[in-house]
Every structure is written in C-alpha cells, then in structure tokens.
Structure 1
C-alpha cells in the first residue's frame, strides 16, 4: 500500500536506519543521501520517507511531498556548489526508464557537463 513501509524495499530500509547511507539532508518528509554508484561528482538521491513506487504515484497521492523533494534538490545543489553552474533532477519511472528501486527517488546530478541526450 502506498505510504506504508515495504519490508523488501531498500529505500524504506534506509529511512528506517536499517541500511547505512551517507545522508546529506533530512526533513520531516524526505531523506537525501549520496548514490553508492555516482554518475557525476554530485549524485544525491532524494526520497520521501513514505513509500510510493514512482513519481506519478507520489504526484497523485502527495503532491506536496513532490514539491518538498524539488526544494531539497535545490538545497543540495546549493550545498554542493553547483546551483550556479547547473544541475539535473531526474525521476526514472518504470523499469523501461531505468528505475531499479521502486520507491520514488529524484537523482540530483551535477558538477560535470550534462549534455543531452545523456551518454
């Protein structure tokens, strides 16, 4: 069920403190931590504390939390010194788009050129 912790969810385990992560920011509704396989000098994941499988589900159930996630992405960019040079916020929704953990998360990427299309 959306919002409820899922026993088999890696990110729910990080929220609970059962799996370690390098946390960089926390709010009442979100946790942000460094990606263990960074694709850029700044690569931080922002997740809601409540379990929602993807960005679309979160937007439907709790759009205010989605807004907090975006605000946190900007705060992370500012804290890492990349707000002025640019950064990317990516939500992968579904396995065909590269989502591998089905707990919504925003990738905050920056600190190197991020040309489009990626690759």
Structure 2
C-alpha cells in the first residue's frame, strides 16, 4: 500500500536501521525506543492487523515468531527476558495500520511498556 509507512520501509523507500530481512519479513529498530532493545518486526505483505491473519498466513506468522526468537538471541535478551507486543485496532493502541510486533528487552520491563 503506497500510503503505509511500514510498506514503504519494506520497499526500501524510507530509511530505517534494518536488523533482519528476508523475502517475507523485515525487522528494524524502532525510531522511538521504549527499551534498550526495541525492534519492530513486520511481514512485507500488507496485513492491517492480527484481525487480517487467516489460515493461509499461519506459516508466515510462525516464521515471524521464529525470527523474533532469533533476534532476541542476537540482541542479547533471550536469557534475561523480553516482551513481544502486537497492538490491534485503535482501542488496542495500534498506531500504524500494518501488522507489526515489537520486541522489547535489555532492561526490566514494567507493565506499562509495550
């Protein structure tokens, strides 16, 4: 979608600090980090939110969570602990209308982060 900032990042049209990329996913550092490690992981395919995930997307979502686990290890938070957050819809706190997951870690996280 041409007006989606995350689609633009996935296409390389908006600069970002890429942590991981393959044909289906991209992970980048959040521009307003809430923790020492704060990555945003998105499918390149535009899905608006978790509500758009169908059985056809199950393999993609499984792959995404495998990459989150891998990134937690690479960024040194796997052992100490980390949080994965997906906000869905306006009331759920979703700001960008593209399915995305936040990986947060590197400090003790209180209940208000994420």
Q: TM-score scaled by structure 2?
A: 0.93
Q: Which residue of 1 aligns with 2:70?
A: 75
Counterpart of 1:92 (choices 83, 87, 91) is 87
Cross-structure match for 1:19? 14
CA distance in 2, matches of 1:85, 1:20: 30
- TM-score, with length taken from structure 1: 0.90
How much is the aligned-residue C-alpha RMSD, in angstroms? 1.2
Offset, 1:56: 2.6
SS in 2 for 1:70: helix
The superposition leaves residues 34-93 of structure 1 with CA deviations (integer Å, 9 ceiling, x where unpaired) of 000000000000000100000231245411111111111111110011100000110000
1:28 to partner: Cα distance: 1.7
Looking at structure 2, the residues matched to 73 and 88 of structure 1 have their Cα atoms a distance apart, in angstroms, of: 10
Residues 69 and 106, structure 1, Cα contact 8 Å, conserved in 2: no
Post-superposition Cα deviations, 1:7-43, rounded to whole Å, max 9, x if no partner, equal: 1100000011110010000122100000000000000
Show structure 1 runs of 5+ residues with no match.
1-5
Could you tell me whether the CA contact under 8 Å between 1:25 and 1:31 is conserved in 2? yes
Question: Between Structure 1 and Structure 2, how many residues are aligned?
Answer: 113
Residue 64 of structure 1 aligns to a residue in which SS? helix
Q: Deviating runs (4+, > 2 A) in structure 1?
A: 58-61
CA distance in 1, matches of 2:83, 2:12: 27
1:118 and 2:112 are equivalent in the alignment: yes
Aligned partners of 1:61, 1:92: CA distance in 2, in Å? 21
Consecutive unaligned residues of structure 2, counting only runs of 5 or more, are none
